[in-house]
Structure 1
């Protein structure tokens, strides 16, 4: 077995459950007797009277009349055009022999103009005042967003927040009394139930395809290892046709309720071949409410390194990892559930869960595989309490755990944009680089009140590295800052120099009250 295959297997079975500030759907919060956040009721269009919109309930009779559900859905699905404008970039060329012996060894720099890039997708209007859910990959990196409604109106959109981990984004158009789709409960979906995939894929007005729910809590690809958070991998699988332009569109049940956001298709050719996947509303509602309220998702982490015992059902007897899981499952006397291999110090489960516990339920819901665990955690914020049922020494035990965030606290994490630094930046000019013999650098062109001023950084300082990473562009600094915000210390250690040649180091505290 080659190294690549071994690595893939390990990634598929070991995961640090750092997931998912997620997304308790509205129904879930009711069942837990929680006080529903105001953002939920304000943001999502509801169906309080449980109006029957289709001729038959999906499970009451066949065939199901889907015409009313389609009619009530198409007007709330929009076409999204995301444009990334052309930019001027500095490219460092490879040094030739003359540069090597007679120059500075770094090669010649040249300016290139990138071409504008345009992407297309779909979106779903979830509130009358113009909040729209779509996929993150539809709008990622966009400088301009145009939204075209089913009635041919075209409006300018702006990004409220994005979450790459769940591939969801929230955008806003200005106006009132837009058509909406009531949000349903994806947990109530049954395999075999009729659903509609509604999208606006090619700017052709909304398009409807029909199919059934093929599977729930479907995981695509591996989880996570080496301390990195996994993407949410708990999809609704359907055979309703989902093509690339449908990304961000609506998955609708026979009552005309939104039960998922179409995310991807699974096909060896890139065209529809019978498998599509949607992000369930049980995850979507919490993520979108967080984006609206805080600008970023409040992700709750269980704080354990764990393995899905279902992997032991694989038939590859030569695989050492699979063999280890089978042996452990036999030893524990259970074939499915989440085997706790390590409890993270200072994490949510520290002092509560133990090594070799097997998680079999959360808040009464059975946990068969890793995707089930991810989906349950995705419904909660740091500070929420959950009841975790484990099998410990072949006896069931239920414990209460207070979930924490990546920093090991229950505090709300707000979106910290570059503005909190209170400074402006630009890449070091060619002249200054030549004068100071620098290959790269980010010049501080102005400092106002903010984190930079608090740290003592002044105008003219040239940032060379932040937390050990070279700073060539403003985007490099933004990336380093976002990574630093995820660490418990929330600090940015900056090294650089002044135009005088004097070198300096600064520690920037990114914590917010």
Structure 2
């Protein structure tokens, strides 16, 4: 009996000690976890978890940024107006009258309190009428102010006052892993916000249309109706215009892309001040440096842009940049690939001076380069864009005059193959500059055939006629 009493006493004492230890040590830990704002799923205690606050300047509370931005993002409708019914059902419903049809829709960002709005060019392309619906459901007709198709940016305006708008941030300051919000108005259901991080900078999607690209890549959900919407940082500043997704289905699967705000702002300011976009260029052609090229040129670096050609009359030539130089930095922006370079240059204007750091013969040099103007003109009937030809371009083609094909507007392989070819005549008139091309085509009846004379890569002239 005495042994039984002793056994019971020891058991009770063990239970008391176990419960006390739990209360003293374990329960405090679980209470501490319960006081945090972080929620976890699964069985607690299997993996180590850090509850330290983020070091990078934000507690991941997006409410302030969202509240600042949702009223500055709008729904944009691309409306077509037609004179006659297009189907038997429209004929029965309307008789012989025409009507309106929705061609497409997207989002836009208010950038001034008096109604200037940035959106994507592809959202409003071909519109007979543009309609804008604010986050408060008020609808306005919008006027098209200007476009820059190569950057997929358009500027429109509504007649309104005292609107909520988004201030531009500095897209050069964004960092990989930085929190961002994608704000759009995709289905005319008021603004929608999704969150993610900056996944990459200066991303080139390689669409092979002759247009250099430099996108911000993010994993914040961007769907087709969000095109033209805002990418903002945690402070609610506009750092990009959402423009594209990469997906086999056409819907979001993890990556979205935005035009950097510095480039979009420069385009808008150019349209407002000059009526068109003023493009500045270094005047070089080059390619991304990699390990194989580095070995070929006996270089100690494997990142940057290696210069393959310098236009003789360009700012780069005047500053002393030469073939074989490796561009490593422009101003304070590190250049790892061509899209870093073209993205930064896209935020500058002709006449601006930039500091270019190059590597030559193992030594670094810093050169001041004055950007020259890049003039282009789109010859729409033939689907090609031309620019002024340099003396070296003319010398290579063994001609005394002409303009150079700089881009294929349609992006097909046949047109791509013509990039770099010289056009010497239009309608049997010699052309020496973009201004000559513009003058001939502006004075021409669009219904008349168009004659264009090319000099092929063998130096032979060929003339084609477009009806």
Compute the displacement of 1:332 (Å).
2.9
For the 8 Å contact 1:170–1:292, the answer to whether it is kept is no
- Residue 60 of structure 1 corresponds to which residue in structure 2? 57
8 Å CA contact 1:127, 1:180 repeated in 2: yes
Pick from 123, 138, 145 the counterpart of residue 130 of structure 2: 145
- Choose from 240, 259, 275 the match for 2:255: 275
Partner of 1:250 in structure 2?
230
Q: Deviations over 1:58-105 (max 9, x none)?
A: 92243x1111211111111000001233489xxxxxxxxxxxxxxxxx
In structure 2, distance between residues paired with 1:150 and 1:217: 31
Q: Give the distance between the partners of 2:440 and 2:120, measured in 1 at CA.
A: 34
Q: Matched residue of 1:286: which SS? A: helix
Question: Which residue of the other structure, out of 349, 355, 360, is the alignment partner of 1:387?
Answer: 355
1:347 to 310, 314, 324: 314
Matches within 5 A, 1:1-400: 59-62=56-59, 64-86=60-82, 118-221=103-206, 230-231=211-212, 233-309=213-289, 312-313=290-291, 325-328=293-296, 330-351=297-318, 352-400=320-368
Kindly tell me: are residues 496 and 234 of structure 1, through their superposed partners in 2, closer, same or farther at Cα, counting changes over 3 Å? closer
Alignment RMSD: 3.4
> Structure 1, residues 210-246: CA drift from partner, whole Å, max 9, x if none?
111111121211567xxx5x24x21111111100000
Counterpart contact for 1:407–1:486, Cα < 8 Å: no
After TM superposition, the score normalised by the length of structure 2 is 0.66
Of residues 182-191 and 125-134 in structure 1, the stretch that sits farther from structure 2 once superposed is 182-191
Contact 2:294 2:300 in 1 (8 A): no
Q: Does the Cα contact within 8 Å between 1:57 and 1:254 map onto a contact in 2? A: no
1:311-370 Cα deviation digits (max 9, x unpaired): x35xxxxxxxxx5x3543x52332111111111122222242111111111113221111
**Structure 1 runs not aligned, ≥5 long:** 1-55, 89-112, 314-322, 416-465, 471-483, 498-504, 506-513
Q: Given the superposition, is the C-alpha separation of residues 407 and 241 from structure 1 closer, same or farther in structure 2, using an over 3 Å criterion?
A: closer
Shift of 1:255: 1.3
Counterpart Cα distance in 1 of 2:118 and 2:100: 28
Correspondence for 1:105? none
TM-fit CA distance, 1:183: 1.8
| Match status 1:487 vs 2:434 | yes
Task: Report which of the two structures shows the higher radius of gyration computed on alpha carbons.
Answer: 2
What TM-score comes out, normalization by structure 1 length?
0.60
After superposition, the C-alpha distances for 1:389-441 in whole angstroms (9 at most, x for unaligned) are 11112211111111111259xxxx9x9xxxxxxxxxxxxxxxxxxxxxxxxxx
| CA distance in 2 between partners of 1:247 and 1:360 (Å) | 33
Greater relative CO (CA pairs within 8 A, separation 6+) = 1
1:115 Cα deviation from its structure 2 partner: 9.3
Q: Is residue 86–residue 117 contact of structure 1 (8 Å, CA) maintained in 2?
A: no
Inter-partner Cα distance in structure 2 for 1:195 and 1:407 = 35
**Is the partner of 1:332 in helix, strand or coil?**
coil
Deviations 1:428-473 (A, max 9, x none): xxxxxxxxxxxxxxxxxxxxxxxxxxxxxxxxxxxxxx96479xxx
Equivalent residue runs for 1:495-510 within 5 Å: none
Aligned-partner Cα distance in 2 for 1:265–1:57: 29
Judged with a 3 Å threshold, the aligned counterparts in structure 2 of structure 1 residues 364 and 190 are, in CA distance, closer, same or farther, namely closer
- How far 1:114 moved relative to its partner? 12
CA distance in 2, matches of 1:190, 1:337: 19
Instruction: Count how many residue pairs are aligned between Structure 1 and Structure 2.
Output: 336
| Residues in 2 aligned to 1:486 and 1:169: alpha-carbon distance in whole angstroms | 27
